[in-house]
Amino acid sequence: MTILFLFLALFALMFIGVPVAVSLGLAGSVTIMLFSPDSVRSLAIKLFETSEHYTLLAIPFFLLAGSFMTTGGVARRLIDFANACVGHIRGGLAIGAVLACMLFAALSGSSPATVAAVGSIAIAGMVRSGYPQPFAAGIITNAGTLGILIPPSVVMVVYAAATETSVGTLFMAGVIPGVMLGVALMVAIYIIAVKKNLPALPRATVREWLSAARKAVWGLLLMVIILGGIYSGMFTPTEAAAVAAVYSAFIALFVYKDMRISEAPKVVLESAKLTIMLMFIIANAMLFAHVLTTEQIPQQITAMVLEAGLQPWMFLLVVNIVLLIAGAFMEPSAIILILAPILFP
């Protein structure tokens, strides 16, 4: 009865247009007040525990790093480098956009930041070169999702906080799937480009390639600093995020000089707004997940799976279907915080 009311309240609130974060918090709060033996004070305690979670400190730093790289010209130089590498292939502009998304994802840790940074430049370039606009937009939309898989990833940080797993281990696990998906997308683009005779850029000379690489090296170096620092044990993922933020600000202001120091407060403010929005979603999703945990839903789900005798691939198929449906309504971080405590055991 409690769980039925919880989910009915959630969907009813979303149906009437209440924001997802507020819906999660209200549904969880009302359920605790009406059905749970827990005190209402447990709501405040849970929100406080969420806000002081050390792992989640990485989120504002990665978002700040992404903001500086987007505004500071790193994305444009990564796109130029990617085009110099693969632009001469049939459909090279689109393939280069995917490669640029993969590189930027390895710097920012955020899918929205990747789409905004690369898409704002690459889509216009593809359309000018004769690519259909829906095709160009679809490429960036798909390639931008690699920001979830390719480390560092904000979503992986959220998952680690929800399941108490190692962020570094998750980052390592995301490298191969992220690269494989990127390569698969490039192959699909090439096949379509050959069939539709999409244009290719002239092959870059060695001098042009070296020039593009030299301009992009400061951005590429950040990837080495973040992942190398984490896997060598020099710093934790949270500390790596802080290093990324400082490094991104440095190259944007003093190396590339694409933004003035007077513009830095605006970038910090926009990053703070995004952080507050995301943390508000996370806090309310944690509250919702707290209700599920107190009602022992994870244990019930585990018992049902064992009784049904599902094979591993069958269970993963069910999980993917659930995630597909949930993804149509909610932000990835909220989905993870709600479903991870249920499905992880």
Provide the pLDDT for residue 345.
63
Provide the pLDDT for residue 212.
84
What is the tens place of the pLDDT at every residue in 301-312? 777 767 777 777
Mean pLDDT computed over 204-210: 83
Per-residue pLDDT band at 132 (split at 50, 70, 90) = confident
pTM recorded for the entire structure: 0.78
Per-residue pLDDT band at 72 (split at 50, 70, 90) = low
Long-range contacts of 266-275 (CB under 8 A, 24+ apart): 267/64, 267/67, 267/68, 267/71, 268/64, 268/67, 270/67, 271/60, 271/63, 271/64, 271/66, 271/67, 272/60, 274/63, 274/67, 275/59, 275/60, 275/63, 275/64
The CA distances from residue 29 to 248, 295, 342, in Å, are: 40, 14, 19
Provide the pLDDT for residue 1.
65
What is the tens place of the pLDDT at every residue in 133-183? 888 888 888 888 887 888 777 888 888 877 778 777 888 888 888 889 889
Do 187 and 52 touch, CB atoms closer than 8 A? no
DSSP for 105-123 reads HHHH--HHHHHHHHHHHHH
Confidence check: pLDDT of 70 > 80: no
CA dihedral 116, 117, 121, 123 (to 10 degrees): -40
Mean pLDDT computed over 289-305: 73
Do 126 and 93 touch, CB atoms closer than 8 A? yes
Per-residue pLDDT band at 86 (split at 50, 70, 90) = confident
Mean pLDDT computed over 26-33: 81
